[in-house]
A and B are shown apart, each in its own frame.
Chain A
Amino acid sequence: MAQVTLRNLVKKFDRTEAVRGIDLDIADAEFAVLVGPSGCGKSTTLRMIAGLEEVTSGDIMIGGETVNDVPPKDRDIAMVFQNYALYPHMTVYENMSFGLRLKKFPKAEIKQRVENAARILDITELLDRKPRQLSGGQRQRVAMGRAIVRNPKVFLFDEPLSNLDAKLRVQMRTEIKKVHQKVKTTTVYVTHDQVEAMTLADRVVVMNAGTIEQVGAPNDLYHNPATRFVAGFIGSPAMNFLPCRLEGGGDALSARLSDTLSLALPAARAPSYRPYEAKSLIFGLRPEHITEPRPHEPGLVEFTVPVDVVEPMGMETMVYFTVNGIEVCARVNPAAARPVGEPMRFAADLRHMHLIDPETDLVIEVPAALRGNAYTNGGAR
């Protein structure tokens, strides 16, 4: 059993505060991904868990034990680095067995563990090679193998796929997920790539400027972001944000986006939004929820605007238009896209909309039952 717990964790480098008091509980066997833009403190947090950075204040617990002052080798963790960090003068076998040899494991057991890990990663035939004779993907596998043979309590991954090309990255992503399903070790994984975070994680931890913005299952974060940052960071293309003003009264609230465009909000959401009547807010809606009109789907709000840019992607087409000078992206059926300059009819699915209070940058909470979308299990905030 190895849960990882962070309590009010702070890291200061000279005067700059890289991590500003974060709390996080990672369950045993969970795959947690720390994601955020560069400089958000995610790697620093990981390095503190590894013991490679000293903790300024707060506590790190692994398996219920506070490890703040425990050296890395005694924390029973294994780490995979972005540049693999393989020992260049050792063969793959020696690289993988180095930790076990230092701990004076019996030779037979070392051999068995290395061969077992090599089988899991499909690198058995590479065991006698030196790192320089391997491709990037193979090196990454060896780095993972070195972690697996130790059979640690926690795996730590520091942007392990960033040095690989796009195709290999997708392949290795699946590989990492498979390995985790096989060995079921608690994993903390750091990446700046939100797609990687979404696809790998049991739970995603979104970090920004040294704090945790939101923790939740990938779909939770996607559908119910807690803050403007999370709403904008998760999802590609990013969520559209438009300044708006709430108008009307009673259950008939509408969001005025421009002089000519006003969208009637779902009646069910009125109780949550009513306190913000007549205030300036930010309206958020993902591109896939602005489509061509779909007569069979109820509850879509339609409007017409001229098309600015059309980007065909094959399976779908991105259509851009402007509202009040701000570019908005819609994801439409290729057959429905209109040529540039012509007016096009769009339908907005407001069951997936968000209103953000610009004063706090928090998404205005709507009780799950009133949202009207399928994802109602609510993320931890």
Chain B
Amino acid sequence: MTATAEATGAPTRVVRRASISSNRRKALIWSYIFLVIFAVFFLMPPIYMLITSLKSSAEISAVTNPWVVYHPTLENYIGLLTSRQYLTFFRNSAMVSVSVVAITMVVSILAAFSLARMKFWGSTLLATGVFLTYLIPDTVLFIPLFKMFAYVHETTGIELINHWYVLIIVYPTLTVPFCTWIMIGYFASIPKEIDEAALIDGAGYIQMLTRIFIPVALPGIIAAAIFAFTVSWANFLYPLAFTTSTDQLVLPVGIITTLIKGDVYNWGQIMTGALLGAAPPLIIYAFLMDYYIAGLTAGATKG
């Protein structure tokens, strides 16, 4: 047969096929390169914070290698954790965040359930409206909100501005729309027949929600709760605008306003405060990581 091939002069072509394993290796190498770049890029600041927090003020201002700690000390940690002020910021932050998470969960679970399941006049429009409110940036909102709170004070005598609890009222404007929106998605992915089975089994709407929807959509609910916690823990603009007295400040603003005195930056304590402030969300993430990831990816494909 080769003779015929030669006689007709058919061009012989060597087809080169990359093996699956070499393809995979190439893909992996590129993945590693980019992942390492990202990891280094994002971990650099916290590592720098950690290093700086272990230095004394003298060592920070000395001309040495900034990435090396020559005389490690815990004085910044001790100083902060024994300062009443810092603990007040921490307490305010915790109270605000926990309350906001609780309020957000109650409101958005009920809202998402009714928007996803109880078809009523205008429910689709409302669901879109909820999402649209999320698109309005807080920089646009804080002045009108300030005027509103001032008006409430004038008319009712209730003082909201310059109290930490004003944030419990303000933060849900950021958290509720987003949490409602992602939970509508979760609830909508639960098959309709499950409600119908529950309805026939004798469940009312509240029982359907508490005994079926919440347990089934728990990963989504936890993801939403983490989001609400992170937003209310880390927001900077609203507490800066609405609170001024030191005993009413939350962590992000408290650290900046009390540890920077004029043009004197207490870098060691600033870094320590920020690091300690970042701890609670980190701890929560670590514990609920599996849930959080399951929550973010579920619903991406129809199960």
Binding partners A and B: yes
**Residues of A participating in the B interface, judged by any CB pair closer than 8 Å:** 50-52, 71-73, 77-79, 81-83, 85-89, 98-99, 102-103, 146, 150
Q: A83-B191, A87-B212 are in contact. Are A78 and B203 (CB under 8 A)?
A: no
**Contacts A50-B196, A83-B193 given; 12 further ones with Cβ under 8 A?**
A50-B200, A51-B200, A71-B199, A72-B196, A77-B200, A81-B197, A85-B191, A87-B216, A89-B212, A98-B211, A102-B203, A150-B201
Bound CA span A71–B200, Å: 8
**Chain A residue with minimal CB distance to B199?**
A72
Bound CA span A146–B202, Å: 13
Q: Are A72 and B194 in contact (CB-based, < 8 A)?
A: no
Bound CA span A150–B203, Å: 14
Q: Are A72 and B216 in contact (CB-based, < 8 A)?
A: no
In chain B, residues 185-233, which have Cβ atoms closer than 8 Å to a Cβ of chain A?
Answer: 191, 193-194, 196-203, 207, 211-212, 215-216, 218
A60 to chain B, nearest CB (A): 15
Chain A residues with CB below 8 A from B191, complex form:
83, 85
Q: Are B216 and A73 in contact (CB-based, < 8 A)?
A: no
Q: Are B202 and A85 in contact (CB-based, < 8 A)?
A: no
**Residues of B participating in the A interface, judged by any CB pair closer than 8 Å:** 191, 193-194, 196-203, 207, 211-212, 215-216, 218
Chain A residues with CB below 8 A from B218, complex form:
89
Summarize B's interface: helix, strand, loop or mixed.
helix
Chain A residues with CB below 8 A from B200, complex form:
50-52, 72-73, 77-79, 99
B193 to chain A, nearest CB (A): 4
**Chain B residue with minimal CB distance to A50?**
B200
Chain B residues with CB below 8 A from A81, complex form:
193, 196-197
A174 to chain B, nearest CB (A): 24
| Residue from A73, A77, A85 in contact with B203 in the complex, judged by beta carbons closer than 8 Å | A73
Most chain A CB within a 10 A radius of its CB, from B200, B203, B207, B215: B200
Q: Are A73 and B207 in contact (CB-based, < 8 A)?
A: no
**Chain A residue with minimal CB distance to B214?**
A89
Most chain B CB within a 10 A radius of its CB, from A78, A79, A82: A79
Q: Are A99 and B202 in contact (CB-based, < 8 A)?
A: yes
Chain B residues with CB below 8 A from A82, complex form:
193
A81 to chain B, nearest CB (A): 4
Q: Are A79 and B197 in contact (CB-based, < 8 A)?
A: yes
Bound CA span A82–B211, Å: 22
Bound CA span A369–B199, Å: 51
**Chain B residue with minimal CB distance to A75?**
B200
Chain A residues with CB below 8 A from B194, complex form:
85, 87
**Chain A residue with minimal CB distance to B202?**
A73
Chain B residues with CB below 8 A from A86, complex form:
197
Q: Are A98 and B201 in contact (CB-based, < 8 A)?
A: yes
Q: Are B199 and A85 in contact (CB-based, < 8 A)?
A: no
Q: Are B202 and A102 in contact (CB-based, < 8 A)?
A: yes
Q: Are B212 and A52 in contact (CB-based, < 8 A)?
A: no
19 contacts between A and B (CB under 8 A): A51-B200, A72-B196, A72-B200, A73-B201, A79-B197, A82-B193, A83-B191, A85-B196, A87-B194, A87-B198, A87-B216, A89-B212, A89-B215, A89-B218, A98-B198, A99-B201, A102-B201, A102-B202, A103-B202
Bound CA span A291–B198, Å: 53
Chain A residues with CB below 8 A from B193, complex form:
81-83, 85
- 8 cross-chain pairs, A with B, having the tightest CB-CB distances, nearest first: A85-B193, A99-B201, A73-B202, A85-B197, A81-B193, A102-B202, A89-B215, A72-B200
Chain B residues with CB below 8 A from A77, complex form:
200
B119 to chain A, nearest CB (A): 13
**Chain B residue with minimal CB distance to A78?**
B200
**Chain A residue with minimal CB distance to B190?**
A88
Bound CA span A51–B200, Å: 8
Chain A residues with CB below 8 A from B212, complex form:
87, 89
Q: Are B199 and A52 in contact (CB-based, < 8 A)?
A: yes
Most chain A CB within a 10 A radius of its CB, from B202, B203, B216: B202
Chain B residues with CB below 8 A from A79, complex form:
196-197, 200
**Chain B residue with minimal CB distance to A156?**
B200
Chain B residues with CB below 8 A from A72, complex form:
196, 199-200
Bound CA span A85–B191, Å: 7
